[in-house]
Structure 1
Amino acid sequence: MDWLTANEALTLLGTLPQTLYANVSRGRIKARRDPADSRKSLYRGEDVRRLAQRAAGRRRQETVAAEAIRWGEPVMPSSLSTIEDGRLMYRGRDAVELSETAILEDIAVLLWDAKPFQLPVRSRAAIGSVQAAFVAMAERAANDAPSIGRSELILKVEAISVLSSLANSLVGGRSATEPLHIALAVAWDRPGAADIIRRALVLLADHELNASTFATRVAVSTGAALSAGVLAGLATLSGPLHGGASMGARALAGEARTLGAEAAVLARLGQGMRLPAFGHPLYPDGDIRAAALFGQFKPPEHYAALHAAAYKITGERANVDFALAALTETHDLPADAPLVLYAMARCVGWLAHGLEQARSGQLIRPRAHYVGGAGEP
C-alpha cells in the first residue's frame, strides 16, 4: 500500500486542500500521520487515484456536453434526418433527390411514417402571416390535449390538424385540394414560382436537431401538446440566427448593390462581423440545399457577385438562407417569404420530432455546470 503527501494527492486530484480534507472526513480517502513529521498527514494512494479518475470522467462528460450544444454530436438518438458526407437524408433518403418530384405533404408521410393524407381546411383568414401563425399555435397550445398517454395513431391525426392550422394562418386561405406549395404561390400571386417553392419546402422540412427542433422536442418531452411543441419551434425559428437569417443576407445584398460586392464584404469584415448566410458547420464543402436551389433559378446579378466575392475573400459558400433571400428577390415574393417557407416546411419536421419524442416518453432535462461565485454565508 502506497501513501502520498498532501501535495502529491492535490496534484492528482486537481482540487483545493479543503476538498481533500472533506474527502478524508467523509471516509473516501484514508489518511494517517506522517511518521517523518507528525504535523503532516499521508493519504492512501489507491483512494486518491480512484477519486481522481472519477473526477476526470465527470470533467470529460461536462466537456462533451458543452461541446455537443455548440455543433457537436446529436444529444439524442433520432431516426428522422441526418447530414452524411454533405448530403441531407430523410429516413435514409436523399433530400435533394426527393426535392426533384416530392411535395411537402409527401415528406410529412415519410417523416411521420403515416398514410397519405389531405389537409383539412378550418379557416380562411384574409391575410396570412407569421404573426397569425403565432396566434393560431398559441390558441391551440392552450386548448389541445397533452401528448402524454395518447396513442401514436391519435397523435398522427392531430399532427395533420396542427399542420393544417399553421398552413391556414400562413397562407390566409387555401383550397382543400391544392398542395401547400401551390397554395403559397397562389397567395403570393406568383404561379410561376410554384415549382421552386415546392423544392424549397422539401429541402427545409427537417435538419437534424437544429435549435427550433430541439426546442420542440423539449416542449413535447414534458407531455405538452404537439401544438405547444410547434409553438416553441416557431418562437425559436424567428430569431435572426435561425429562420430570420435571410433578412441579414438581404441587407448585405443591398450593400453589395450600392457599394460593390467586394467592398460590401470587406466593410463587414472590417467591422469585425461575420457575413450573414455564408458557411455552415455541417456542410464544410457548401450547403447542398443552397446548391440545389441555385440550380433551378438565376439569382440577381448583385447576389451572384456577392456570392463570388464572399467565397474569394472568406472561402465560405452561401448557405440556404442566402439562397432563400435570392429566391425571394428573383420572384418578387413578400419580404417575409423566407421565414414563411421555413415555418411551413419545418412544421413537418417539428411534428415528426414531436411524435418521436412522445413515443420515447423521456423528459429532456440537462444539468447546468455552475460557474458563478459562492453566496453569502
Structure 2
Amino acid sequence: MSWITAEAALAQLQTKPQTLYANVSRGRIQSRPDPADSRRSLYRLEDVERLAQRRPGPGRTATVASQTITWGEPVMPTAISTIADGRLYYRGKDAVGLSQTMTLEAVAGLLWACADPDFGGGTETESDSALSALAGLANRQLPTLGRTIAVLRGDAIETVNSLAMALTGSQRSDWALHLRLAHHWRRPDSADMLRRALVLLAEHELNASTFAVRVAASTGASLSAATLAGIAALGGPLHGGAAVAMRDLSETAEHRGAPSAINVYLQQGRPVPCVGHRLYPMGDIRARALMDQFDLPPIYAELDDAIQSKVGEQPNIDFALTALAAAFDLPDNAPLTLFTLGRSIGWLAHALEQVGTGTLIRPRANYVGEPINLI
C-alpha cells in the first residue's frame, strides 16, 4: 500500500483541498497521520488514482451539482475561513492559535476586515431571547441593498449588540463579551474558557446555519434578519442543539457507567451523539483544543475514553461545550448560548461577503414528482 502527501494527491485529482478532505470524510480516500509530521496527513495512492480516473464529464453535471449540497465541495468561494489538513483557519490564521490569546471582539475585527468593533453600545432590552431581540431589530434595520460594506459594518455591530444584550443581560456592557457571560452566569472563574470557546466557535465556513445566513443576505435582507435565519438553523439537533443529546448521554453514563451507556446506543443501532466530524478525519481540532484547557468532569473523561475505544472516533465540539458547562456549573443552555454568540461573528462576516458579491443565491430544483400533464 502506497501513501502520498496532500500536495501530490491534489496534483493528481486536479481539485481543491476541501474536495480532498470531503472524499476522506466520505470514505472514498483512506488517510493516516504522516509518521514524519503528526500535523500532516498522507493519502492512499490507490484511492487517489481511482478517483482521478472518474472525473465527471458533461453528462454528470446535474448529479455533481446535487451532491455539492450534502457535504460536498463548497458551492461558493469565500475568503473568510477554511478547513485544511485537519486544521481550521480564519483568513489564513490558525483558529486554535488565535483562541489562546484573542477575544471574540478581536476575531470580529479579523473576520470583518476592520478595526476591533465595540459591542458595548447596545440598549437595554426586556427580551431574554435571541430570536425575539433580533426580530425587533429586524423590524427597524434597513435592507442591505444600495449600501456600502463600510456602512453595513455598523449594522453588524448593532446586530451583535442586540444579541449580546439578550444573551448576557444589560449589565457590564462595557466589558468584553466573554466577561459579560461569566458575570451573567455568576461564574467568574469560567471567563477564560468562555473566551476560548467563543473564538473557536466564531466561524466554520459553509455550515448549515452560515449557508442560511448567506441565502437570506443574498436577497438584500437586513443583517439582523439574515442573522435570524442563522439562529433558526443553529437550533436543530444536528447542529448547535446537539448538546441536548449529549446531556442525555452523560446522565445515562452517570447511572450505568460510560462503557455501558455507549453500549446501549450501539446495541440499539443509534449513533452516539457528539462524536466525530466529517471535516476532521483525525478528530475535531476545536474540541481537543478546548478540552485540553480544563479538567474534564470524571464522567466526561470516562465517556471520552469509552467513545474512542468503542466507536473509534474523537469527541467533537458539542461534546466539549457540554463538558465545559458541566465543569463550571453553567446553565443547561450555555452550549447553545456560546454557539449563538460566537457564531454570530462568522455569520455576519459571510453576510457582508455575500452582499459584496451582488448576487442572489437561487439553486434550481430537480423535479422528481408525478409526471407533468401537458394536456
Query: One fold, TM greater than 0.5?
Result: yes
CA offsets per residue over residues 213-255 of structure 1, 9 Å max, x none? 0000000000111111100000000111100011111111111
1:315: how far off?
0.6
* Equivalent position amino acid for 2:254 in 1: R
1:193: how far off?
0.1
| Cross-structure match for 1:182 | 179
* Equivalent position amino acid for 2:139 in 1: A
Q: How many residues align?
A: 319
Question: Residue 154 of structure 1 is aligned with which of 127, 133, 151?
Answer: 151
* Equivalent position amino acid for 1:162 in 2: T
Judge conservation of contact 1:121–1:168 (CA < 8 Å) in 2.
Answer: no
Q: Determine if the alignment matches structure 1 residue 317 to structure 2 residue 331.
A: no
CA offsets per residue over residues 284-331 of structure 1, 9 Å max, x none? 000000010111111111111111111111111100000000000010
Greater shift after overlay, 307-316 or 85-94?
307-316
Judged with a 3 Å threshold, the aligned counterparts in structure 2 of structure 1 residues 127 and 135 are, in CA distance, closer, same or farther, namely closer
| Cross-structure match for 2:279 | 282
| Cross-structure match for 1:224 | 221
Judged with a 3 Å threshold, the aligned counterparts in structure 2 of structure 1 residues 96 and 214 are, in CA distance, closer, same or farther, namely same
- Structure 1: state its 5+ residue gaps: 1-55
Equivalents in 2 of 1:239, 1:269: separation in Å? 23
Equivalents in 2 of 1:135, 1:222: separation in Å? 22
| Cross-structure match for 1:108 | 108
Question: Residue 194 of structure 1 is aligned with which of 174, 191, 195?
Answer: 191
* Equivalent position amino acid for 1:211 in 2: A
Judge conservation of contact 1:136–1:166 (CA < 8 Å) in 2.
Answer: yes
Q: Determine if the alignment matches structure 1 residue 291 to structure 2 residue 288.
A: yes
Identity %: 51
1:126: how far off?
6.4
TM-score between the two structures when normalised by the length of structure 2: 0.83
Judge conservation of contact 2:201–2:342 (CA < 8 Å) in 1.
Answer: yes
Q: Determine if the alignment matches structure 1 residue 234 to structure 2 residue 231.
A: yes
> In the TM superposition, what are the counterparts of 1:105-184 in structure 2 within 5 Å?
105-125=105-125, 128=128, 132-184=129-181
- Structure 2: state its 5+ residue gaps: 1-55
Greater shift after overlay, 320-329 or 263-272?
263-272
> In the TM superposition, what are the counterparts of 1:253-264 in structure 2 within 5 Å?
253-264=250-261
1:66: how far off?
2.2
Q: 3-state SS of the aligned residue for 1:82?
A: strand
| Cross-structure match for 2:87 | 87
Judge conservation of contact 2:124–2:170 (CA < 8 Å) in 1.
Answer: yes
Equivalents in 1 of 2:295, 2:327: separation in Å? 8
1:58: how far off?
5.7
Divergent runs of 4+, >6 A: none
Judge conservation of contact 1:120–1:161 (CA < 8 Å) in 2.
Answer: no
| Cross-structure match for 2:201 | 204
Greater shift after overlay, 262-271 or 222-231?
262-271
Equivalents in 1 of 2:245, 2:326: separation in Å? 14
Greater radius of gyration (CA): 1
TM-score between the two structures when normalised by the length of structure 1: 0.82
1:139: how far off?
1.5
Equivalents in 1 of 2:127, 2:138: separation in Å? 22
Equivalents in 1 of 2:348, 2:122: separation in Å? 19
Judge conservation of contact 2:122–2:173 (CA < 8 Å) in 1.
Answer: no
Equivalents in 2 of 1:359, 1:171: separation in Å? 31
* Equivalent position amino acid for 2:255 in 1: T
1:122: how far off?
3.0
| Cross-structure match for 1:373 | 370
Equivalents in 2 of 1:375, 1:177: separation in Å? 61
Equivalents in 2 of 1:263, 1:116: separation in Å? 48
Question: Residue 266 of structure 2 is aligned with which of 252, 265, 269?
Answer: 269
Judge conservation of contact 1:127–1:172 (CA < 8 Å) in 2.
Answer: no
Equivalents in 1 of 2:272, 2:155: separation in Å? 40
| Cross-structure match for 2:14 | none
1:120: how far off?
3.5
Equivalents in 2 of 1:112, 1:133: separation in Å? 21
Judge conservation of contact 1:121–1:175 (CA < 8 Å) in 2.
Answer: no
